[in-house]
Amino acid sequence: MTWLSSLMLGSLVSLSCFTVVPPRGEQEEIEAMLRNDPQVRLAEANLEKARAELVAARYDATLRILDLQSKRRELAQRLELSREQYGRMRQIVDAGQASATELEKLRIDMVLLEGELQSTELRFQQLSRPLDPPTTQGGKAEVVRVVRPAISEEMANLLKEAVEFPNVPLALTEWLTIMRGAAPFKIIVSEVLDTANFAKVQLGGGTTYSVGEAMQALADQHRLAFVFRDYGWILMPRDFALEFSGAAIPQDIPCTNAARSAASQAGPGGPKSAGPTGPGGGGPGGR
């Protein structure tokens, strides 16, 4: 290697190791300008606000989850006790020492507890399942609509069963009592539904309706929805029903991409449970 080549190589090595660093005074100037830049200060404020909102949201969610866990434990204990009472009463009835009416009352109480527990478990499913990330178009989140399952022929026929109502406005509790006595399937009220402040239900002139017509009337008057699962129909707020993929009353309620996530994990029927109707979907039947 000649002396000229050595000189050029040494110069290249020196240049490759050189890093451009602004003088100390200019660096402090940059930091001061960044601290005072309106956009930077707004972004930092938004970041702090988002962190505070995250802490508050996690706290609220934790309280709700703890409340649900407590409710689930209580319902499970009550259901276990109810099953034991039903078993003992069945032995007494079989021995001819009590009437079948007492046994039937215990059976109804047991079925209602099963429905409450299943509704709570469904709420846990909704809170714990991973959701599809929202797709974006033009920088905005886009809700994907999913086709809701159709009514099964078997369920459509069950919804045509007749039910007698008094020709007067009814409280929701009265409506539920009449329907649960006539409907050939379970009707479960979601725990997210506030039933305390319900207005009266008015079915219209006459007293005889199909089960499906009665469900449709209640849903329309109070912006509610019934969603079918394997263990029965769940009554819930209409907005809440968007995230459940089962057949619904009213039938034109759409599903969202959240419902698609649930369907892909649990299947269209949701959690399995022994129910009176078997699998299927539903919609109002006409009479």
CA distance 114 to 273: 9
CA distance 188 to 207: 23
CA distance 224 to 43: 41
pTM score of the predicted model: 0.46
- Of 95-109, 123-137, 220-234, 267-281, the least confident: 267-281
In the predicted structure, residue 71 carries a pLDDT above the cut 50 = yes
Residue 145's pLDDT band (cuts 50, 70, 90): low
CA distance 77 to 70: 11
In this prediction, residue 226 carries a pLDDT of 92
In this prediction, residue 167 carries a pLDDT of 81
In this prediction, residue 129 carries a pLDDT of 63
In the predicted structure, residue 6 carries a pLDDT above the cut 60 = no
88: exposed, middle or buried (Cβ count in 10 Å: 0-12, 13-18, 19+): exposed
CB of 206 closer than 8 Å to CB of 167 = yes
Beta pairing class for 232-237 and 187-189: parallel
Mean pLDDT, rounded, for 59-74 = 84
Mean pLDDT, rounded, for 86-90 = 90
Show Cβ contacts of residue 224 under 8 Å, excluding neighbours closer than 6 positions.
Answer: 193, 218, 235, 236, 237, 238
Q: How far is CA 40 from CA 28, 33, 54, 143, in A?
A: 16, 10, 21, 32
In this prediction, residue 196 carries a pLDDT of 59
- Of 115-129, 158-172, 267-281, the least confident: 267-281
In this prediction, residue 81 carries a pLDDT of 92
Show Cβ contacts of residue 8 under 8 Å, excluding neighbours closer than 6 positions.
Answer: none
Rounded percentage of the chain residues whose pLDDT exceeds 90: 4
CA distance 233 to 158: 12
Question: Among the residues of the chain, which ranges form H helices?
Answer: 3-16, 24-36, 38-94, 100-128, 153-158, 172-182, 211-222, 238-241, 257-266
pLDDT, tens digit, 9 for 90 and up, residues 201-256? 777 666 788 898 889 888 888 889 999 888 889 998 888 888 787 889 988 888 77
